[in-house]
Amino acid sequence: NAGVTQTPKFQVLKTGQSMTLQCAQDMNHEYMSWYRQDPGMGLRLIHYSVGAGITDQGEVPNGYNVSRSTTEDFPLRLLSAAPSQTSVYFCASSYGRGLDTDTQYFGPGTRLTVL
């Protein structure tokens, strides 16, 4: 049971380039989400999904796209990278049933630098 995996761990992009951050989970979780972590600002929600085929925007969605074709995978696409997108990105998942025991499990993070 690998939990939540993210690739790559590190990435450097030039302004204007596009790329996809990969996220996968093997816990059969319905809910998946992407956060960015910037110094002094905690984690901010970018996009989330409550199940395959269903996605919605979080607090800071601009410049990012997501899709959820399977329960396991939830990739995050940067359409045209900007220096303001330099951050650490976390993927998280949970059962999404609102139960007491429902908590989010996080991936190890991707450190992205946009030059």
Partner 1 sequence: AQTVTQSQPEMSVQEAETVTLSCTYDTSESDYYLFWYKQPPSRQMILVIRQEAYKQQNATENRFSVNFQKAAKSFSLKISDSQLGDAAMYFCAYRSSRGYNFNKFYFGSGTKLNVKP
What count of other Cβ atoms lies within 10 Å of the Cβ of residue 20?
Answer: 12
The answer to whether residue 106 forms part of the interface with partner 1 (CB under 8 A) is yes
Q: Does the footprint of partner 1 cover residue 88 (CB under 8 A)?
A: yes
104 near partner 1, judged by CB under 8 A: yes
Secondary structure (3-state) at 58: coil
Neighbours of 76 (CB within 10 A): 22
Nearer to partner 1 by Cβ, of 85 and 104: the residue is 104
What whole-number distance in Å separates Cα of residue 74 and Cα of residue 71?
8
Closest distance between partner 1 and the C-beta of residue 92, in Å? 8
Per-residue interface string for the shown chain with partner 1, residues 26-65, x marking contact by CB under 8 A: -----x-x-x----xxxxxx--x-x-------xx------
How is residue 22 written in tokens? 């990969």
Tell me which DSSP letter residue 22 carries: E
Count of positions (residues) in the chain: 115
Q: Which residues bind partner 1 (CB under 8 A)?
A: 31, 33, 35, 40-45, 48, 50, 58-59, 88, 90, 92, 94, 96, 98, 100, 102-104, 106, 108-109
